[in-house]
Amino acid sequence: MQFDARAAKLLEPGRHLTIDGYPGLRLEATESSRTWTYRYKSPVNGAMRQKKIGRWPAVSFAAAIVEWEALRQKREAGIDVAAEARRERQSAVAAKAAEKEKNKGALTVQRVCDLYHAGHIVRNRGEKGQVEIARMFRTMLGDLAGKEAAEVSRADAFALIESYAHIPVQAQILRRELGAAWEYCHDAGKLAESVPNWWRLILRGKLKSKGKAINGVKRGALKRVLSPQEAGQLIPWLPNFSRDINDILTLYLWTCARGVEITAMEASEITEEDDGLWWSVPKAKTKNAKREDATDFRVPLIGRAETIVRRRLNAYPTGYLFPSYGKTGHWEQKSVQTRVYYQQPYSNTAPERKRIRLTVTHWAPHDLRRTARTFLASMGCPRDVAEVIIGHMLPGVEGVYNRHSYDKERRVWLGRLSEYLEQLAVKHG
């Protein structure tokens, strides 16, 4: 019979169609498919053989004829096509196994990253950083993870980083950490010196962020600092937040501390000393935790900061001063950020809920720390004092030889900052 698509669709499972003029070509039916096959006698031993051509209708009748003709010519040339196909499959499996065995001891890209993570990241980064770098290596390397590190070409490196160019900040981090991983394995003797570190060479200066997007509009790559007028307007507005958020944001301005340090403040870290109230953040809770020469972060509590901490000490004489029901037991920085965004006039979070909107916009909690540091500079605070106040370690030789605690200077300049912030609130509030 001639091929009939309707008859093919109605073909019952276990039955087959043959086509006039094409000996051996059959369309066989199962419960779920229709498959073209070539049935023939082996030219080697005369046994009946069958070679699959493909599923219909993905493989059309015309395409099946072309393949049938090629197989028939091979058979007439004395080749058992089914046996040949079986040998090719076996060869492919053997080749894959051999390649796997060959690479079993090879230093792959993933292995380079694992060595770097265990030997450097775990020793020098905080827990959050360790988890993030491990996640990045686990999810962003793609097929390159299994490739031998010594065989990675410049094109390979470019292709991987370029594939993340739409998220340039993350692409920069991946490029930086892979470059550091190659460098680490070079230093450790795990990679031959002749193996190039392409990560250091590709796309230098070409991965630039367009800034944070708000409602689909890019703000641009900028570091937000509130003007004196904006700070003066914001300070009287802060009580519109909950008491916890108001207190935390106020401490950003009055202490210049980091959000993660403020939200994890504990009663045991507060001490009454001869010159007033102090907050001593343990080194382990600071950004400098891995630095051998780092010390606890000392913060004199003055003005509104002192008022807030004394009030909270009365309410929470032990444990965290900003307790929460979360897994950490205290407020987290990201939760504070969420509350601030919720009050922004452009926030679409729960639009059906009525709320008072911020009048000073486009800022995040960390911008308040940056703003306070900028105010210190504008007031004439010496750079080394201001850097110590915000918890930065002094660089270079100065950091090695200058062991002055700056406690007196901290209290003097944070006292002046407190007075300045109060003046702004009166003037612009």
Q: pLDDT tens digits for 301-359?
A: 999 999 999 999 999 999 999 999 888 899 999 999 999 999 999 998 888 899 999 99
pLDDT (0 to 100) of residue 98: 62
List the helix and strand counts (H, then E) for the chain.
17, 9
Low-confidence ranges of the chain (pLDDT < 70): 1, 97-105, 203, 205-222, 394-404, 429
The Cα angle at residue 417 between residues 266 and 369, in degrees rounded to 5: 55
Residue 71's H or E segment, with its range, is: helix 61-76
pLDDT at 401: 38
Q: How far apart are CA 21 and CA 2, in angstroms?
A: 9
In the block, which residue shows the tokens 């007439």?
A: 76
At residue 411, the pLDDT reads: 95
pLDDT at 132: 93
Cβ(273)–Cβ(285) below 8 Å? no
Of 112, 187, 178, the C-alpha closest to 150 is: 112
Structure confidence at residue 148 (pLDDT): 93
The single-letter code of the amino acid at 75 is R
What is the torsional sign of CA 347, 349, 354, 356?
Answer: negative
Cis peptide before 57 (omega within 30 of 0): yes
pLDDT at 129: 87
CB neighbours (10 Å) of residue 278? Answer: 18
Residue 253 near residue 237, CB atoms below 8 Å: no
Stated pTM of the model: 0.58
pLDDT of residue 213: 53
CATH number at 5-102:
3.30.160.390
Distance between first and last Cα of the chain:
93
What class has domain 228-428? mainly alpha
Rounded Cα distance, 414 and 419, in Å: 9
Q: From CA 242, how far away is CA 355, in angstroms rounded?
A: 12
